Amino acid sequence: MYFVSKRLEISFAHRLSLDYESKCTRLHGHNAIVTVFCCSRELDRNGMVTDFSSISQIVKDSLDHNFANDAMEFNPTAENLARWICGQVPNCYKVMFQESEGNVAVYVKAGFEDAAKIL
Ligand SMILES: [Zn+2]
Protein backbone atom coordinates (compact mmCIF):
# COMPACT_ATOMS: atom_id res chain seq x y z
CA MET A 1 0.00 0.00 0.00
CA TYR A 2 1.29 3.46 -0.88
CA PHE A 3 0.46 6.59 1.10
CA VAL A 4 0.95 10.27 0.28
CA SER A 5 -0.10 13.45 2.02
CA LYS A 6 -0.26 17.02 0.85
CA ARG A 7 -0.41 20.00 3.22
CA LEU A 8 -1.50 23.37 1.95
CA GLU A 9 -2.84 26.68 3.18
CA ILE A 10 -6.00 28.32 1.92
CA SER A 11 -7.69 31.60 2.74
CA PHE A 12 -11.47 31.55 2.71
CA ALA A 13 -14.50 33.24 4.18
CA HIS A 14 -17.69 31.70 5.44
CA ARG A 15 -20.75 32.29 7.56
CA LEU A 16 -22.12 29.32 9.47
CA SER A 17 -25.76 28.45 9.76
CA LEU A 18 -26.29 27.40 13.41
CA ASP A 19 -29.31 26.83 15.61
CA TYR A 20 -27.71 28.68 18.53
CA GLU A 21 -26.18 32.13 19.08
CA SER A 22 -22.59 32.26 17.86
CA LYS A 23 -20.16 34.77 16.42
CA CYS A 24 -19.52 32.14 13.72
CA THR A 25 -22.84 33.04 12.09
CA ARG A 26 -21.30 36.38 11.10
CA LEU A 27 -19.17 36.69 7.97
CA HIS A 28 -15.52 36.00 8.82
CA GLY A 29 -12.38 34.50 7.31
CA HIS A 30 -9.75 31.89 8.03
CA ASN A 31 -6.29 30.94 6.86
CA ALA A 32 -6.77 27.18 7.04
CA ILE A 33 -4.18 24.43 6.87
CA VAL A 34 -5.56 21.50 4.92
CA THR A 35 -3.81 18.13 4.89
CA VAL A 36 -5.05 15.64 2.31
CA PHE A 37 -4.17 11.95 2.67
CA CYS A 38 -4.34 9.52 -0.25
CA CYS A 39 -3.53 5.84 -0.59
CA SER A 40 -3.49 3.19 -3.26
CA ARG A 41 -2.47 -0.45 -3.59
CA GLU A 42 -1.09 0.24 -7.07
CA LEU A 43 0.72 3.25 -8.50
CA ASP A 44 -0.64 4.87 -11.64
CA ARG A 45 1.29 4.83 -14.94
CA ASN A 46 3.30 7.83 -13.73
CA GLY A 47 4.36 6.06 -10.55
CA MET A 48 2.09 8.08 -8.29
CA VAL A 49 -0.83 7.60 -5.89
CA THR A 50 -2.21 11.07 -6.65
CA ASP A 51 -0.21 13.96 -8.10
CA PHE A 52 0.65 16.45 -5.30
CA SER A 53 -0.05 19.42 -7.56
CA SER A 54 -3.43 18.11 -8.61
CA ILE A 55 -4.43 17.77 -4.94
CA SER A 56 -3.45 21.37 -4.38
CA GLN A 57 -5.27 22.51 -7.50
CA ILE A 58 -8.53 20.76 -6.60
CA VAL A 59 -8.59 22.30 -3.11
CA LYS A 60 -7.42 25.78 -4.13
CA ASP A 61 -9.63 26.08 -7.21
CA SER A 62 -12.74 25.51 -5.12
CA LEU A 63 -11.93 27.20 -1.81
CA ASP A 64 -8.88 29.47 -1.84
CA HIS A 65 -9.77 33.18 -1.67
CA ASN A 66 -13.39 32.20 -2.00
CA PHE A 67 -16.63 32.61 -0.07
CA ALA A 68 -17.37 29.01 0.93
CA ASN A 69 -21.12 29.64 1.29
CA ASP A 70 -21.29 30.50 -2.41
CA ALA A 71 -18.88 27.74 -3.48
CA MET A 72 -20.61 24.94 -1.54
CA GLU A 73 -24.19 23.73 -1.37
CA PHE A 74 -23.95 22.88 2.35
CA ASN A 75 -23.21 24.59 5.64
CA PRO A 76 -19.42 25.13 5.27
CA THR A 77 -18.23 23.94 8.68
CA ALA A 78 -14.68 22.58 8.92
CA GLU A 79 -16.14 19.07 9.23
CA ASN A 80 -18.28 19.42 6.10
CA LEU A 81 -15.42 20.98 4.13
CA ALA A 82 -13.10 18.11 5.14
CA ARG A 83 -15.65 15.53 3.91
CA TRP A 84 -16.26 17.42 0.68
CA ILE A 85 -12.52 17.68 -0.12
CA CYS A 86 -12.13 13.95 0.52
CA GLY A 87 -14.80 13.27 -2.08
CA GLN A 88 -13.10 15.44 -4.73
CA VAL A 89 -9.51 14.18 -4.60
CA PRO A 90 -8.74 10.83 -6.29
CA ASN A 91 -7.65 8.10 -3.81
CA CYS A 92 -8.28 10.38 -0.82
CA TYR A 93 -9.24 8.60 2.39
CA LYS A 94 -8.65 11.30 5.03
CA VAL A 95 -8.62 15.09 5.33
CA MET A 96 -7.45 17.19 8.26
CA PHE A 97 -8.93 20.66 8.13
CA GLN A 98 -7.27 23.06 10.56
CA GLU A 99 -9.54 26.06 10.46
CA SER A 100 -7.51 28.05 12.96
CA GLU A 101 -4.84 27.45 15.59
CA GLY A 102 -6.18 24.71 17.87
CA ASN A 103 -9.34 23.99 15.83
CA VAL A 104 -9.05 20.91 13.64
CA ALA A 105 -11.69 18.73 11.98
CA VAL A 106 -10.77 15.32 10.59
CA TYR A 107 -12.81 13.29 8.13
CA VAL A 108 -11.97 9.63 7.40
CA LYS A 109 -13.76 7.84 4.58
CA ALA A 110 -15.82 4.85 5.74
CA GLY A 111 -13.80 1.65 5.52
CA PHE A 112 -10.45 3.46 5.78
CA GLU A 113 -10.24 3.74 9.55
CA ASP A 114 -7.28 1.30 9.66
CA ALA A 115 -5.39 3.20 6.95
CA ALA A 116 -5.91 6.40 8.94
CA LYS A 117 -3.95 4.84 11.81
CA ILE A 118 -0.88 4.47 9.56
CA LEU A 119 -0.79 8.02 8.15
ZN1 LIG B 1 -15.20 30.08 10.75
What 3-state class would DSSP assign to 64? coil
Give the Å distance between the CA of 29 and the centre of ligand 1.
Answer: 6
Q: Which amino acid is located at 21 in the chain?
A: E
Q: Note whether 64 and 10 are within 8 A (CB).
A: yes
Give the Å distance between the CA of 8 and the centre of ligand 1.
Answer: 18
Give the Å distance between the CA of 30 and the centre of ligand 1.
Answer: 6
Cα separations in angstroms, 117 against 21, 40, 85, 113: 36, 15, 20, 7
Confidence of residue 112 (pLDDT cuts 50, 70, 90): very high
DSSP state of 93: E
CA distance linking residue 52 with residue 54, whole number of Å: 6
- Domains identified in the chain and CATH numbers: 2-118 (3.30.479.10)
pLDDT digits (tens, 9 = 90+) for 55-110: 999 999 999 999 999 999 999 999 999 999 999 999 999 999 999 999 999 999 99
pLDDT digits (tens, 9 = 90+) for 17-59: 999 999 999 999 999 999 999 999 999 999 999 999 999 999 9
Statement: residue 118 has pLDDT above 90: no
Give the Å distance between the CA of 100 and the centre of ligand 1.
Answer: 8
State residue 115's pLDDT score: 87
Q: Note whether 51 and 31 are within 8 A (CB).
A: no
Give the Å distance between the CA of 2 and the centre of ligand 1.
Answer: 33
CA distance linking residue 53 with residue 31, whole number of Å: 19
Strands 2-14 and 103-108: unpaired
State residue 55's pLDDT score: 98
